[in-house]
Amino acid sequence: MSTQERTSIVWDYAPAPESPDHVRLRDSYGLFIGGEFRDPLDGERVRSMNPATEEPVAEVAFAGERDLRAAVEAARAAQPGWAALSGLERGKYLFRIARLIQERARELAIVESMDGGKPVRESRDVDVPLAAAHFFHYAGWADKLSYGVGGRAAAPLGVAAQIVPWNFPLLMAAWKLAPALACGNTAVLKPAETTPLTALLLAEICQEAELPPGVVAIVPGDGAAGAALVRQPDVDKVAFTGSTAVGKDIQAALAGRGVSLTLELGGKSANIVFEDAALDQAVEGIVNGIFFNQGHVCCAGSRLLIQESVADVVIGKLWERMGRLRVGDPLDKNTDVGAINSREQLERIEELVTAGEGEGAVRRTVACELPERGWWFAPTIFTEVAPAHRIAVEEIFGPVVSVLTFRTQAEAIEKANASPYGLAAGIWTDKGAKAFEVASALQAGVVWQNTYNHFDPSAAFGGYKESGFGREGGPAGLRPYLRVS
Ligand code: NDP
């Protein structure tokens, strides 16, 4: 039977919206300081918007300078008592937080999607379960700290200031808080301006878990609040996830102060497809690598390197697969690609895509109906990309993949490493030896083989070069929160 004779299957999906009805958000949230929600001293109240509807979800207090000082003071006051608890006792609190995240999983997933625009399928299946898993994982480490640092004596650093971005608001909060608390530190966490809500629900969970007051503070705020937080004189540790530009600013601000610093910054990760790979499987991995969370992923496989001999086949299959991605309502359980997180981010994506076209790369964007309100960008692929093009070098942080080709293994490695970043990489091949050889030559903190964007709380995550330093996850994630002697 020729392909023309086969019945074509049209996948029609009825809408399957997740109802936000049972979500009990407050109209307005205070700052979580000293174990209670407080009115800001010198901050303001701001509405957090749903990027899919441009409607407010809830009002949130933003911290001012005095609020930040109060949060750090409360964390400082709570730290000796928290550190004095046995590791077993601290672990019990973390375990409780993990269980409460699981109990409120549906609510957290819906709020994450409403506040940030990501498909509820991802919030439900990835963000929330992984956030709980991080607390479970570090609950287990709390009474075994010295085993995590090669049998040496380990003591907490003190008060940690933690700043997280808008792409994985709850998950990044878990990545930061769980190891800090397990090690006996207290923490002041600033969520991103556009996505503060699930961190505030996590504050409620800390209350429900009866975490001692002051051990965790959640202080939403804008970039200026982040800058002020890292400059507070009484912090011992700063942990930041976000853009390389801000990471550099923080590093400069902390220079000479003896404050421990972890930076998890941007990336332009290479996803390398060799001719001997299982190509259909690779295409699924490419899709997951770049269209997961609208490409708002620091380790997104945004530079697709395909061996020349299979480039046309892979691009053909990828384009066909892209056409089947469903873009739209983040609360619909069928949605693959949700809303862009903010107007500013949409403008950034559009600017870089325009630059790509201007520099001569060939753009193809999936034709799909986009909702009238909200911020959207349809899945896009660029071919004929030269290594010097901006779209091959700069982090687009959107659903846009740039394709480059290579002929030999050596050329693949050279092109993959030709980046100021070094966060992650993917290798698609059916030859195990080749995968190991290439992986050991790549300058990337995480290398996935025949998979992509695969996260586990027991695995270390972090970068090289301009992607930052320090590791999060697993026993390696304890070290940045401990003084080891
Ligand atoms: P930022 O780096 O500005 O934001 C990350 C966090 O840092 C947010 O909580 C932010 O607050 C805060 N912040 C902003 N300025 C400062 C400062 N001077 N000192 C301390 N904290 C600060 O990222 P953007 O949201 O502006 O995104 C810009 C680009 O950065 C994106 O297009 C993307 O390329 C990249 N990015 C990379 C991320 C990653 O995980 N690697 C994550 C997010 C962005 P606020 O939200 O209020 O601005």
DSSP 334-363: T-SB---S-HHHHHHHHHHHHHHHHTTPEE
Residues 6+ apart with CB under 8 A from 461: 175, 264, 299, 445, 446, 455, 471, 472, 473
Distance CA 157, CA 260 (A): 8
Whether the predicted pLDDT of 27 surpasses 90: yes
Let me know whether 374 and 407 are in one domain: yes
Q: Which two tokens stand for residue 351?
A: 């600017």
pLDDT digits over 401-411, tens only?
Answer: 999 999 999 99
- Rounded alpha-carbon distances, angstroms, from residue 91 to 41, 143, 249, 334: 33, 7, 34, 37
Let me know whether 254 and 275 are in one domain: no
Let me know whether 118 and 159 are in one domain: yes
Pairing outcome for strands 482-484 and 424-428:
unpaired
Whether the predicted pLDDT of 1 surpasses 60: no
Whether residue 50 is contained in a domain is answered as yes
**265 by DSSP, 3-state: which?**
coil
Residues 6+ apart with CB under 8 A from 390: 352, 355, 356, 359
147-164 mean pLDDT: 97
Let me know whether 285 and 200 are in one domain: no
Whether residue 6 is contained in a domain is answered as no
Whether residue 23 is contained in a domain is answered as no
pLDDT digits over 172-186, tens only?
Answer: 999 999 999 999 999
Whether residue 1 is contained in a domain is answered as no
369-376 mean pLDDT: 95
CA of 400 to the centre of ligand 1 (A): 19
Distance CA 380, CA 366 (A): 6
Q: Which CATH number goes with the domain that contains 319? A: 3.40.309.10
Q: Of all residues in the chain, what percent carry a pLDDT higher than 90? A: 96
For residue 188 and ligand 1, the question of a CB distance below 6 A is answered with no
> Hey, whose CA ends up nearest to atom 47 of ligand 1?
222
Q: Tell me the HSE value of 357 on the side-chain side, using a 13 A CA sphere.
A: 10
For residue 163 and ligand 1, the question of a CB distance below 6 A is answered with yes
Q: Which two tokens stand for residue 460?
A: 């270390």
For residue 249 and ligand 1, the question of a CB distance below 6 A is answered with yes
CA of 434 to the centre of ligand 1 (A): 37
CA of 285 to the centre of ligand 1 (A): 27
DSSP H or E stretch at residue 240: strand 237-241
pLDDT digits over 68-86, tens only?
Answer: 999 999 999 999 999 999 9
> Hey, whose CA ends up nearest to atom 15 of ligand 1?
223
Whether residue 4 is contained in a domain is answered as no
Number of folded domains that form the chain: 2
Let me know whether 404 and 293 are in one domain: yes
Let me know whether 83 and 99 are in one domain: yes
137-157 mean pLDDT: 97
Q: Which CATH number goes with the domain that contains 476? A: 3.40.605.10
Let me know whether 305 and 223 are in one domain: no
Let me know whether 431 and 444 are in one domain: yes
Q: Catalytic positions, please? A: 264, 298
Let me know whether 357 and 479 are in one domain: no
The range of the structural domain enclosing residue 286 comes to: 270-449
Helices (H), 142-195: 145-148, 169-182
DSSP letter (8 states) at residue 294: G
Question: Quick one: pLDDT at residue 315?
Answer: 98
| Nearest partner of 171 among 124, 207, 238, judged by Cα | 124
Q: How confident is the model at residue 11 (pLDDT cuts 50, 70, 90)?
A: low
Let me know whether 116 and 256 are in one domain: yes
Whether residue 52 is contained in a domain is answered as yes
Region of 256 please: left (phi>0), alpha (psi -120 to 50) or beta.
Answer: left
pLDDT digits over 128-143, tens only?
Answer: 999 999 999 999 999 9
Whether the predicted pLDDT of 10 surpasses 90: no
Whether residue 460 is contained in a domain is answered as no
Q: How confident is the model at residue 7 (pLDDT cuts 50, 70, 90)?
A: low
Whether residue 417 is contained in a domain is answered as yes
- Cα dihedral angle (326, 328, 331, 336), rounded to 10 degrees? 30
pLDDT digits over 444-485, tens only?
Answer: 999 999 999 999 999 999 999 999 999 999 999 999 999 999
Let me know whether 283 and 224 are in one domain: no
Q: What is the mean pLDDT of the chain?
A: 96
**273 by DSSP, 3-state: which?**
strand
pLDDT digits over 270-289, tens only?
Answer: 999 999 999 999 999 999 99
**Residue 262 near residue 472 (C-beta atoms within 8 A):** yes
DSSP letter (8 states) at residue 216: E
Question: Quick one: pLDDT at residue 4?
Answer: 46
Work out which ligand 1 atom sits closest to the CA atom of 229: 20
Let me know whether 395 and 366 are in one domain: yes
pTM: 0.96
Whether the predicted pLDDT of 325 surpasses 60: yes
Whether the predicted pLDDT of 6 surpasses 80: no
